[in-house]
């Protein structure tokens, strides 16, 4: 048996753009389904909004959706997505892509605990932390 914890990001009406962006950052396979696909809204203005976005890139799973206009939405809630591991090239590549149009809150550099660590907010207002540990023998 297994248990998984996967980030599920909420957007107001730009989940398609965000999930396509994360697909460019991480690669993998992206599946997007709309409210119309599931006949989930009577509001024609919401037909093309994303009801479920699912990105699988190796061990990384990221999901997201648009929030219907009838539901409250608060951008950039107090949660961060952590990318960690010892594959420095991959993690630095993800960092660089996420930072391109985002804001670096803490540069990716050697941290007091020995890892390389940084924090940024991407162009969609999502907070990311990257922690690169030294490869273990």
Rounded CA gap, 126 and 12, in Å?
13
Question: Which band of pLDDT confidence, cut at 50, 70 and 90, is reported for residue 77?
Answer: low
Residues in the chain, total: 137
| Interaxial angle between packed helices 88-99 and 15-26, expressed in degrees from 0 to 180 and rounded to the nearest 10 | 150
pLDDT in tens, 23-34: 999 999 999 999
Q: Which pLDDT value is given to residue 120?
A: 94
Ordered by where they begin, the domains of the chain are: 8-66 (3.10.180.10), 80-132 (3.10.180.10)
Mean pLDDT of 94-106: 95
DSSP per-residue letters across the chain: -------EEEESS-HHHHHHHHHHHH-SEEEEEETTTTT--S-GGGTTSEEEEEEEETTEEEEEEEPPTTS---TT-S-EEEEEES-HHHHHHHHHHHHTTSEEEEEEEE-TTSSEEEEEE-TTS-EEEEEEPPPP-
CA–CA separation, 103 vs 123, rounded Å? 8
pLDDT (mean) for 121-131: 91
Mean pLDDT of the region 84-113: 94
Main-chain dihedrals φ then ψ at residue 29, nearest 5 degrees: -115, 125
User: Are the CB atoms for 76 and 120 separated by under 8 Å?
Assistant: no
Closest to 132 measured CA to CA, from 107, 105, 106, 114: 114
| Radius of gyration for the alpha carbons in the chain, expressed in angstroms and rounded | 16
């Amino acid at each position: 048996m297994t248990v998984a914890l996967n980030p599920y990001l909420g957007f107001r009406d730009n989940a398609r753009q965000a999930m396509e962006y994360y697909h460019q950052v991480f690669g993998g396979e992206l599946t997007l389904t709309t409210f119309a696909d599931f006949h989930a809204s009577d509001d024609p203005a919401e037909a093309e909004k994303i009801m479920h976005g699912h990105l699988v890139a190796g061990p990384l799973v990221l999901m997201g959706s648009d929030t219907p206009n009838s539901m409250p939405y608060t951008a950039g809630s107090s949660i961060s997505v952590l990318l960690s591991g010892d594959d420095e090239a991959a993690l630095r590549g993800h960092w660089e892509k996420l930072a391109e149009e985002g804001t670096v809150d803490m540069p990716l550099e050697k941290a007091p605990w020995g890892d390389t660590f940084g924090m940024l907010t991407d162009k969609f207002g999502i907070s990311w932390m990257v922690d690169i540990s030294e490869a273990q023998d």
